[in-house]
Structure 1
Amino acid sequence: MARRMQTLEHRLQDNSNEPDGGYGWVCVAACFTINAFTWGVVSSYGVYLAHYLSNETFTEARPIDFAFIGGLNFAVAMLAAPVVTALVRRYEIHLPMSLGILMFGIAYASASFSWRIWQLYLSQGVLVGLGVGFLYIPSIAILSQWFSTKRSLANGISAAGSGIGGLIFSLSTGATIENLGLAWSLRLVGVMAVTVNTLATIFIRSRNRVVQPASIPFDVVLLRRYEVFLLLTWAFISMFGYIVLLFSLSDYAISIGLSRDQAVQITAYLNLGTAVGRPVIGTISDRYGRIEIAGLLTLLCGLCCFVLWLPFQSFAVTVVFAIISGAILGVFWVTIGPLCVEVAGLEELPSLLSLAWLTTVLPTAFSETIALQLRRPGMKREYLYPQIFSGLSYILASFCLWELRRHRKSLSRTDAARNQSTR
């Protein structure tokens, strides 16, 4: 496997004047923009969630309905991965991404006219998720094709786009809902996302003809590898903590007596931490080890839930927690591409990414629903159990990466001993 990866890296270098960048930096900018106007938009759903929970916009809806709609954004996007991968294999990246732009625009336009909860399920839930999936999934493998030593840095800068987008849309969504109403807030988001994502799609380029990835939508053979099992288990468990933190923090702020403006600010600070933290994660991952840094930050995020989020109920401490957790809670999105390359190689990257996306479908769909079921309205500490749930999810997930690190070191020692004995 190592020899195969080295040969592939040489092929990349032979087919590009600047294999560790070059036009790849244009692709970084395009991926950054796509993250900002897909996941950045989705991460502001916490503002919509707080609005839905506090207003009777949909009279027949229950709180669990709104939680599940937010989860569908992620779950449907990940569920679309095999179809998107197959389309990329046959038509390259621009056709599925163009379909994603179309679905994203229709989703927010139709959500603005929704007056029944099932309509919101289909528009702001399913259709938004499909739009994100068709836009994001083709783009995630591209940066690993353009970079080698700076692979995590490039992915970190790209992933920071969701933080910048989340910061912008968290602040603007609260303001537009208050001043223009819910419907126009949704329409404006749709128009901006369609316009900017169209420009990003025009400039992005893949190197599939050079790399010749396997692009098998669902390669079950990979599941036989212990390393793949550990990586996917980490993805599955950590997503429970991620979605709870991302969507619950705004409503949590209201539950402890903060104003609606302060709740919006908390979500904005969370996204600010994301924007600042993700390039840093990429840089230190390239230098100190991608598996090691991902495991450490996953553990740290869980510990922050217990040290900062759980014991304190003030605006100042919640802001500090939002910034710190925002920087590290999305470590999955920064590192999953480079980690898949480390575990399976560039040629298997699309296949393993498809498996990773499918692994996260259930936790992204149901984690916020679980959190609202654990919530205890009327109690002094309404979000106590969701806080514990989120923290434990991150801590348990970190053990998978520590075991992955131990297993890889064990294999390296075995290979070294075997090579020594054959000399």
Structure 2
Amino acid sequence: MVGSEETTVIEHADADVLEREKALSEEPEFPDGGLRAWGTVFGAFMINFSCYGVVTSFGVFEQHYSVNQLKDQPLSTISWIGSLQLSLILLMGFFSGPLFDAGYLKPMIAGAGTLYVFCLFMTSISTEFYQILLSQGFGVGIAMGFLYSPSMATIGHHFKRHKVLAFGVFATGASLGGTLIPIAMRRLLDDVGFPWAVRTLAFLVLFCVLCGFVCCSTRLPPRKIRRLFDLSVFEDRAYCFLVLGASLVGLGLYAPVSYGVTYATARGVPADLAFYSLSILNALSLFGRIIPNVVGQRLGPLNILIGACTVAGVLDFVWVTARSTGGILAFNAAFGFASGGYVSVLPAGIASLSTDGQTIGLRLGMGFFCASFLWLASAPIQGALIHVHGTYWPAAVFSGSAVLTGVAMMLVARILVGRRTGSRWV
């Protein structure tokens, strides 16, 4: 009797194991369309509009601070505010990603959205550097980090065959926000002053977050939170070189974004037109975020990533040769298109190194975690070079050198992957 009971238990256990393995082996079906799926894309688009759209518009705030509340502070000090936002979007994604996998999408959107709006209201009444740093730098940056990555991840729950198109629509949110918000903030700063200009931005963010909360949805079942730090991914040499290269590119790439407005005004461009130059840059990045992803499907994401970063690095070098108003506007258009490929293709490039599909999230999390620290240091280093030398040339040379050094590291990663796969389309 005991033996038969043990046999029955073993048979049931084996059946359970087989059932679980079958469930795990079955690939979930993706709707790839429909109201719920495209509603999720719309919600994620709105959150991206309010996150990266605001981050890429920091040049407007930087110019305002440099002649008003923080006129006694050098640009290198003011730039820490924008650098914190940019860095914390990546850094907080390291934590929000696993929470999203565990099923906490709605609580994160609600909590982070509330923090975002609150910190903008605090920014509107801030007058000292430490107050603006805490509210607009730390507070807004942390809130963005808990909004951006989960909203992007929701798209992966609904699309597979049309994923490139869906992510392309999502990516345009940042470009559209970076185009419209600088124009709106410039007008508001002149018409209603800084406090109500920032409060108006807070209400816009509230609307965008509410859209994301209502529209974004998950479809796949929650998963158990796995450990955040896993250094095993760095056993892949190609991955190491790619992360190092991407980090170095992030260290230097965005000098024309961070200091584009101040550079334009220093060259005699009228203040209104200088603010529009940032909108032009962000508008052209819209095409730079979509086209490389589409082409990368055929030519390989690493090839496209290296090409886009090479062009952007060369443009960093020649940034300060644009001295006239027309030259500056033309440069911003070209740089916006080239730099858009870095942000949009990098996730696909990192994901392409995963051979089993199970480590994509881990590789993305660890890669962005490493890159976030160099993104944090980028604008302060560039600002210090401008302040010490009294010219923008050293910042341009540093930025271009960092980007092209990063491209060299990416080339090593591409060679290693090409040898491993036997294909040049990687």
TM-score normalised by L of structure 1: 0.87
Query: Is the Cα–Cα contact under 8 Å of residues 98 and 201 in structure 1 kept in the other structure?
Result: yes
- For residues 150 and 300 of structure 1, do their structure 2 counterparts lie closer, same or farther at Cα, with a shift above 3 Å needed? farther
How far is the alpha carbon of 1:136 from its aligned partner? Answer: 0.4
Query: Is the Cα–Cα contact under 8 Å of residues 27 and 204 in structure 1 kept in the other structure?
Result: yes
- For residues 287 and 143 of structure 1, do their structure 2 counterparts lie closer, same or farther at Cα, with a shift above 3 Å needed? farther
3-state secondary structure, aligned to 1:104: helix
- For residues 215 and 277 of structure 1, do their structure 2 counterparts lie closer, same or farther at Cα, with a shift above 3 Å needed? farther
Question: Are 2:397 and 1:388 aligned?
Answer: yes
Query: 2:71 & 2:398 partners in 1: Cα distance?
Result: 30
Give the unaligned 5+ runs of structure 1: 1-6, 415-423
Q: Which residue of 2 aligns with 1:169?
A: 181
Question: Are 2:72 and 1:63 aligned?
Answer: no
Query: Is the Cα–Cα contact under 8 Å of residues 144 and 337 in structure 1 kept in the other structure?
Result: no
Query: 1:178 & 1:90 partners in 2: Cα distance?
Result: 45
Tell me which amino acid in the other structure corresponds to 1:15.
E
Query: 1:228 & 1:72 partners in 2: Cα distance?
Result: 26
Query: 1:346 & 1:29 partners in 2: Cα distance?
Result: 26
- For residues 327 and 355 of structure 1, do their structure 2 counterparts lie closer, same or farther at Cα, with a shift above 3 Å needed? same
Aligned residue among 111, 116, 138 for 1:104:
116
Aligned residue among 398, 416, 421 for 1:407:
416
How many residues are paired up? 401
Tell me which amino acid in the other structure corresponds to 1:93.
L
Aligned residue among 302, 320, 330 for 2:330:
320
Give the unaligned 5+ runs of structure 2: 1-21
Query: Is the Cα–Cα contact under 8 Å of residues 50 and 208 in structure 2 kept in the other structure?
Result: yes
How far is the alpha carbon of 1:19 from its aligned partner? Answer: 4.6
Q: Write the deviation string for residues 104-163 of structure 1: whole angstroms up to 9, x where unpaired.
A: 101110000112211111001000101110000212333344444544443233112111
- For residues 178 and 246 of structure 1, do their structure 2 counterparts lie closer, same or farther at Cα, with a shift above 3 Å needed? same
How far is the alpha carbon of 1:24 from its aligned partner? Answer: 3.9
Query: Is the Cα–Cα contact under 8 Å of residues 85 and 215 in structure 1 kept in the other structure?
Result: no
Q: Which residue of 2 aligns with 1:226?
A: 237
Question: Are 2:380 and 1:369 aligned?
Answer: yes
Query: 1:140 & 1:234 partners in 2: Cα distance?
Result: 23
Aligned residue among 291, 302, 307 for 2:313:
302
Query: Is the Cα–Cα contact under 8 Å of residues 111 and 186 in structure 1 kept in the other structure?
Result: yes
- For residues 325 and 153 of structure 1, do their structure 2 counterparts lie closer, same or farther at Cα, with a shift above 3 Å needed? farther
Query: 1:186 & 1:390 partners in 2: Cα distance?
Result: 31
Query: Is the Cα–Cα contact under 8 Å of residues 241 and 410 in structure 2 kept in the other structure?
Result: yes
Tell me which amino acid in the other structure corresponds to 2:344.
V
Q: Write the deviation string for residues 381-422 of structure 1: whole angstroms up to 9, x where unpaired.
A: x211111222222222222332222111211239xxxxxxxx
3-state secondary structure, aligned to 2:207: helix
TM-score normalised by L of structure 2: 0.87
Matched-pair identity in %: 20
Question: Are 2:124 and 1:115 aligned?
Answer: no
How far is the alpha carbon of 1:237 from its aligned partner? Answer: 0.7
Query: Is the Cα–Cα contact under 8 Å of residues 214 and 350 in structure 1 kept in the other structure?
Result: no
Q: Which residue of 2 aligns with 1:419?
A: none
Aligned residue among 334, 339, 351 for 1:329:
339
Question: Are 2:60 and 1:47 aligned?
Answer: yes
Query: 1:168 & 1:124 partners in 2: Cα distance?
Result: 19
3-state secondary structure, aligned to 2:353: helix
Query: 1:294 & 1:139 partners in 2: Cα distance?
Result: 23
Aligned residue among 229, 240, 255 for 1:244:
255
Question: Are 2:278 and 1:278 aligned?
Answer: no
3-state secondary structure, aligned to 1:209: coil
Q: Which residue of 1 aligns with 2:276?
A: 265
Q: Which residue of 1 aligns with 2:168?
A: 156
Alignment of 1:209-224 (within 5 A): 209=221, 216-224=227-235
Query: 1:328 & 1:289 partners in 2: Cα distance?
Result: 17
Q: Write the deviation string for residues 227-278 of structure 1: whole angstroms up to 9, x where unpaired.
A: 2212211221111223322211111101111111121011010111112321
Aligned residue among 193, 196, 206 for 1:184:
196
How far is the alpha carbon of 1:324 from its aligned partner? Answer: 1.4
Question: Are 2:367 and 1:356 aligned?
Answer: yes
How far is the alpha carbon of 1:181 from its aligned partner? Answer: 0.8
Aligned residue among 84, 93, 102 for 1:81:
93
Q: Write the deviation string for residues 8-60 of structure 1: whole angstroms up to 9, x where unpaired.
A: 99844x523x35888543333222221111110121110110111123x1466
How far is the alpha carbon of 1:208 from its aligned partner? Answer: 4.1
- For residues 217 and 138 of structure 1, do their structure 2 counterparts lie closer, same or farther at Cα, with a shift above 3 Å needed? farther
Q: Write the deviation string for residues 298-324 of structure 1: whole angstroms up to 9, x where unpaired.
A: 1111122334x2323111111111111
Q: Which residue of 1 aligns with 2:5?
A: none
- For residues 170 and 86 of structure 1, do their structure 2 counterparts lie closer, same or farther at Cα, with a shift above 3 Å needed? same
Query: Is the Cα–Cα contact under 8 Å of residues 246 and 410 in structure 2 kept in the other structure?
Result: no
Query: 1:363 & 1:21 partners in 2: Cα distance?
Result: 40
Q: Write the deviation string for residues 312-342 of structure 1: whole angstroms up to 9, x where unpaired.
A: 3111111111111112213232123322321
Q: Which residue of 1 aligns with 2:265?
A: 254
Tell me which amino acid in the other structure corresponds to 1:338.
A
How far is the alpha carbon of 1:213 from its aligned partner? Answer: 8.6
Query: Is the Cα–Cα contact under 8 Å of residues 282 and 334 in structure 1 kept in the other structure?
Result: yes
- For residues 60 and 260 of structure 1, do their structure 2 counterparts lie closer, same or farther at Cα, with a shift above 3 Å needed? closer
Tell me which amino acid in the other structure corresponds to 2:312.
C
Tell me which amino acid in the other structure corresponds to 2:308.
L
Query: Is the Cα–Cα contact under 8 Å of residues 246 and 371 in structure 2 kept in the other structure?
Result: yes
RMSD: 2.6
Query: Is the Cα–Cα contact under 8 Å of residues 49 and 176 in structure 2 kept in the other structure?
Result: yes
Q: Which residue of 1 aligns with 2:40?
A: 27
Query: Is the Cα–Cα contact under 8 Å of residues 20 and 148 in structure 1 kept in the other structure?
Result: no
Q: Write the deviation string for residues 347-378 of structure 1: whole angstroms up to 9, x where unpaired.
A: 32322222122112222222111111111578
Query: Is the Cα–Cα contact under 8 Å of residues 236 and 360 in structure 1 kept in the other structure?
Result: yes
Query: Is the Cα–Cα contact under 8 Å of residues 216 and 351 in structure 1 kept in the other structure?
Result: no
